C-alpha cells in the first residue's frame, strides 16, 4: 500500500486520505502485540545447540540464575543460540517459554527439559510458563531433596515439578484423545463460543502431517508436538508428574544381578511347568511393584531391563533345554531304539538323564531262546527261504518280548537273547520274563500253521530264564560296542535253555526267578550241576499264572514234586509207581507224554541196576553245555 501511495497512485488525493485512515489496521505486528496485551498470553520460542548457532529475536527475562540449580546437583542443557520473538511481541506478552523437546537415544520422547541454561541464566519451558501465567504463580524456586532418594523439584507457590539431573521431567502421557481440539479457523470466524475457551489454558499448535510437527512418543509414531506440552501441563496441574530416584538404577542393577544368579542356578534343574509358573509370577511381581510405584508414589522405576533380564534368562534356558532335550531324545532313540520298543524309547526320552550306557550292576532277569534241531531245518531249505523263515520267526518272537517291556540284546543265529530291568527299571522283571517265555511258546504254536502253509517245517523252541545281579551297559571294544549284560546268572540262563532239550520242556527257570514270581505256578524239575558250576541249582518249569490254572494242573504238579522227593530218598518202587501214574494222567489229559516223568523212570531203572554211591545227594551233574 505504501508503494502505491508513492508510485502509480501518488497523484490521487483520495488514496492518500484512505491510506491514513486504514494504516493502523495494516500494522499486523502491532495488532498482534495489542491482542497479546489484553490477557495473560504466553509466547513460545526455541533454543539452539551446537557451534555456530545464531541469536534471533528477543528472549524473555531469565527465570533464575543457573548457579542455584547447580547447587542442587542439577545441570541443565546449555544452549548456544535462540530463535525468539520480536521485541514488541515479547514486551506485550505476560510470559514466554521454550518449546524444545529432547528425545531419548531411541528417538522416543519420554521427557522434556523444564529449564535450559543460556549464558548462565535459566529460562523455563512453555508448560511451566503457561501454568504460571494461568494461575498467577510466583517465581520458580529450587527445592532440594531431603534425602538421597527424593527428587529435585522446581516449586512455584507450592506446585512442584520434579526434575532429573538434567532438569528434565517425565511427560505423563494420557490415553488419547485426552484433550479437546478446536479449529483455529472456527475461533477466528467466531464459530466457537467464547465461553468454551474462557478460564482455560489454550495452546495454539499444528496437527496437520504436512507441517512436520508429529513426534514419536511411547504408544504412537505420529503424535502432535503441541499435545506433548498439553500432557505436561496437565501433569503439573493435577500433581501426577512422575519422578526418577537416583537410587533406582543402582537397585535395578542389584535386582538384575540377584534374580539373574538365582534364576541361572535354579532354572536348569526345574521342570518346565514349574519354571514357567515361577517366571510368570516373578514378572507379575515386578510389574505390580512398578505399577504401585507409578500410580501411588508417582515414581518411575527402570524395570524394563529387569523384565528383559528375567524373560531373557527364561527364554535362553527353555531354548537350551529344548535343544539339549531334543539332542538327548535323538541320542536315546539312536542308542536304544534297536533294543527296546518305540513306546519305551518315548518314555525314556521324557527324562534322558536317568538313562546311561555306562556299566551298572542291577538285579535283572535274562532270557535265552533257541530253535530245536535248527541245523536239520536249515539243511532242508534254500538260503532265501531260510532267511525269510528266520525273519518271520524272529519278528514274531521279538514282538512278544517287546510287548512285555523286554530289551532285545542280540540275535545269535536262530537264538534270541533278551533281558528285563534295563535300561528301564522294572520291579517285576522276573514276572514279565517268565510270561514272555510262556507267550513265545504259545505264539509259536499259533505260527506253525502259517509256516506249514508255505512248505516250511514246524519248529519247537527251548527257553531258559534266570534272575540275578548282572552288569549291564555298553560293552565291547574300541571298534564295536553293544548294550548287553554279563554275569554268572546270564551264563546259567543259557545253560537252562540247553537243558530244556534234556527234559523235553519248553521253558526252564532258575530258583531266583521262581522266588521272584509268587503269582506263577512252577513245577520243580530237578536239581543239577551245570557245566562250569559246582554249586547245585534247582530248575523249574513255569506252568502259568496260578490263579488262571485249573486245580487239576496244580495238584498234578504237587504230586510230581512228591514223587521227586521219593526218588531222592531212593525209594525206587514208590517213586516209580507215582511217576507212572502221573505219566498216564498226562497222556490222558494232553495226549502227549510228559518227558520229565520218562527221564526219572529211566534214571530209576538205571539206579536199580547200578545204585548211586552212599553220599549221593540226588543232584544230576551235566558235563556238557
Element holding 439 (H helix, E strand): helix 429-453
Confidence (pTM): 0.52
Question: What percentage of the chain carries pLDDT values higher than 90?
Answer: 46
| C-alpha grid cell, residue 417 | 537273547
Residues composing the chain:
625
pLDDT band at 329 (very low <50, low <70, confident <90, very high): low
Task: Say yes or no to pLDDT of 2 above 60.
Answer: no
The secondary structure of 208-221, three-state, reads: CHHHCCEEEECCEE
| 52 to 49, 121, 307: CA distances (angstroms) | 9, 20, 43
Per CATH, domain 337-549 is 3.40.50.300: no
Burial of 185 (0-12, 13-18, 19+ CB in 10 A): exposed
Of 434, 290, 409, the residue nearest 338 (C-alpha): 409
In the chain the first and final C-alpha atoms are separated, in Å, by: 133
**How far apart (Å, rounded) are the C-alpha atoms in residues 261 and 255?**
10
Residues near 366 by Cβ (< 8 Å), separated by ≥ 6?
409, 417, 418, 419, 420, 433, 465, 466, 467, 470, 485, 489, 490, 493
DSSP state of 424: S
Please tell me the distance from the alpha carbon of residue 521 to that of residue 556, in angstroms, as a whole number.
Answer: 12
Three-state DSSP class for residue 413: coil
Neighbours of 438 (CB within 10 A): 19
Q: Given this model, what pLDDT does residue 558 score?
A: 94
Contact call for residues 524 and 503 (beta carbons, < 8 A): no
Which of 482, 204, 210 shows the shortest CA–CA distance to 339? 482
Proportion of the chain above pLDDT 70, given as a percent: 88
- Grade residue 13 by pLDDT with cuts at 50, 70 and 90: low
556 in Cβ contact with 521 (< 8 Å): no
Q: pLDDT tens, 367-396?
A: 999 999 998 888 888 999 999 999 999 999
Residues carrying CATH 3.30.70.1230, the chain: 337-549
Mean pLDDT value across residues 592-602:
93
Cα–Cα distance for residue pair 285/502, rounded to 1 Å? 76
Looking at residue 8, its pLDDT comes to: 54
Strand ranges of the sheet holding 159-163, from the earlier edge strand across to the other edge: 141-143, 152-156, 159-163
Residue 293 CB neighbours (<10 A): 17
- 3-state DSSP call for residue 472? strand
For 14-72, write each residue's pLDDT tens digit.
655 565 666 665 677 888 888 888 888 999 999 999 887 789 999 999 999 999 889 88
CA 258 to chain centre: 21
Mean pLDDT computed over 181-203: 88
Residues 343 and 405: their CA atoms lie apart, in Å, by 9
Amino acid at each position: 500500500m505504501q508503494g502505491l501511495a508513492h508510485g502509480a497512485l501518488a497523484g490521487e488525493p483520495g488514496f492518500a486520505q484512505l491510506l491514513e485512515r486504514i494504516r493502523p489496521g495494516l500494522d499486523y505486528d502491532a495488532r498482534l502485540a495489542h491482542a497479546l496485551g489484553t490477557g495473560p498470553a504466553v509466547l513460545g520460542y526455541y533454543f539452539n545447540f551446537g557451534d555456530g548457532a545464531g541469536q534471533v529475536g528477543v528472549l524473555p527475562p531469565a527465570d533464575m540464575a543457573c548457579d542455584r540449580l547447580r547447587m542442587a546437583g542439577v545441570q541443565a542443557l546449555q544452549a548456544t543460540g535462540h530463535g525468539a520473538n520480536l521485541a514488541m511481541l515479547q514486551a506485550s506478552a505476560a510470559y514466554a517459554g521454550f518449546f524444545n523437546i529432547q528425545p531419548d537415544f531411541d528417538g522416543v520422547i519420554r521427557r522434556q527439559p523444564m529449564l535450559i541454561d543460556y549464558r548462565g541464566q535459566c529460562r523455563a519451558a512453555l508448560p511451566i510458563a503457561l501454568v504460571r501465567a494461568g494461575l498467577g504463580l510466583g517465581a520458580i524456586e529450587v527445592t532440594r531433596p531431603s534425602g538421597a532418594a527424593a527428587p529435585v523439584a522446581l516449586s512455584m507457590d507450592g506446585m512442584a515439578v520434579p526434575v532429573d539431573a538434567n532438569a528434565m521431567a517425565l511427560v505423563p502421557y494420557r490415553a488419547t484423545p485426552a484433550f479437546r481440539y478446536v479449529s483455529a479457523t472456527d475461533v477466528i470466524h467466531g464459530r466457537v463460543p467464547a465461553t468454551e475457551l474462557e478460564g482455560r489454558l489454550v495452546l495454539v499448535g499444528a496437527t496437520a502431517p504436512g507441517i512436520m510437527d508429529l513426534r514419536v512418543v511411547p504408544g504412537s509414531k505420529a503424535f502432535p508436538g503441541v499435545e506433548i506440552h498439553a500432557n505436561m501441563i496437565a501433569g503439573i496441574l493435577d500433581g501426577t508428574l512422575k519422578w526418577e530416584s537416583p537410587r533406582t538404577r543402582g537397585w535395578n542393577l542389584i535386582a538384575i544381578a540377584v534374580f539373574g544368579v538365582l534364576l541361572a542356578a535354579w532354572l536348569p534343574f526345574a521342570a518346565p511347568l514349574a519354571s514357567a509358573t515361577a517366571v510368570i509370577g516373578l514378572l507379575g511381581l515386578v510389574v505390580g511393584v512398578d505399577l504401585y510405584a507409578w500410580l501411588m508414589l508417582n515414581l518411575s522405576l527402570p524395570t524394563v531391563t529387569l523384565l528383559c533380564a528375567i524373560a531373557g534368562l527364561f527364554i535362553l534356558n527353555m531354548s537350551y533345554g529344548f535343544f539339549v532335550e531334543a539332542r538327548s531324545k535323538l541320542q536315546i532313540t539312536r542308542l536304544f531304539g534297536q533294543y527296546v520298543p518305540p513306546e519305551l524309547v518315548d518314555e525314556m526320552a521324557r527324562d534322558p538323564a536317568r538313562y546311561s550306557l555306562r556299566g551298572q550292576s542291577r538285579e535283572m532277569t535274562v532270557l535265552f531262546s533257541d530253535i530245536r534241531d535248527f541245523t536239520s531245518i536249515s539243511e532242508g531249505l534254500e538260503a532265501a527261504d531260510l532267511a525269510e523263515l528266520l525273519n518271520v520267526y524272529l519278528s514274531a518272537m521279538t514282538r512278544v518280548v517287546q510287548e512285555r517291556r523286554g530289551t532285545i540284546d542280540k540275535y545269535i543265529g536262530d537264538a534270541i537273547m533278551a533281558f528285563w530291568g534295563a535300561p528301564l527299571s522294572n520291579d517285576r522283571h522276573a514276572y514279565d520274563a517268565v510270561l514272555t517265555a510262556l507267550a513265545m511258546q504259545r505264539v509259536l504254536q499259533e505260527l506253525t500253521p502259517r509256516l506249514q502253509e508255505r512248505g516250511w517245517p514246524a519248529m519247537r523252541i527251548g527257553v531258559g530264564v534266570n534272575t540275578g545281579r548282572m552288569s549291564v551297559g555298553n560293552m565291547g571294544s574300541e571298534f564295536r560296542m553293544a548294550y548287553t549284560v554279563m554275569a554268572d546268572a546270564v551264563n546259567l540262563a543259557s545253560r537252562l535253555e540247553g537243558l530244556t532239550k534234556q527234559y523235553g520242556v519248553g521253558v526252564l527257570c532258575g530258583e531266583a526267578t521262581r522266588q521272584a514270581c509268587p503269582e506263577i505256578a512252577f513245577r520243580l524239575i530237578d536239581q543239577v550241576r551245570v557245566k562250569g558250576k559246582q554249586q547245585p541249582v534247582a530248575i523249574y518249569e513255569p506252568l502259568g499264572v496260578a490263579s488262571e490254572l485249573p486245580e487239576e494242573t496244580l495238584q498234578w504238579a504237587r504230586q510230581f514234586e512228591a514223587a521227586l522227593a521219593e526218588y531222592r530218598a531212593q525209594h525206587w518202587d514208590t517213586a516209580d509207581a507215582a511217576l507212572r501214574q502221573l505219566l498216564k494222567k498226562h497222556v490222558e489229559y494232553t495226549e502227549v507224554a510228559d518227558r520229565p516223568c520218562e527221564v526219572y523212570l529211566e534214571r530209576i531203572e538205571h539206579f536199580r541196576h547200578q545204585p548211586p554211591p552212599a553220599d549221593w545227594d540226588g543232584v544230576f551233574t551235566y558235563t556238557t553245555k
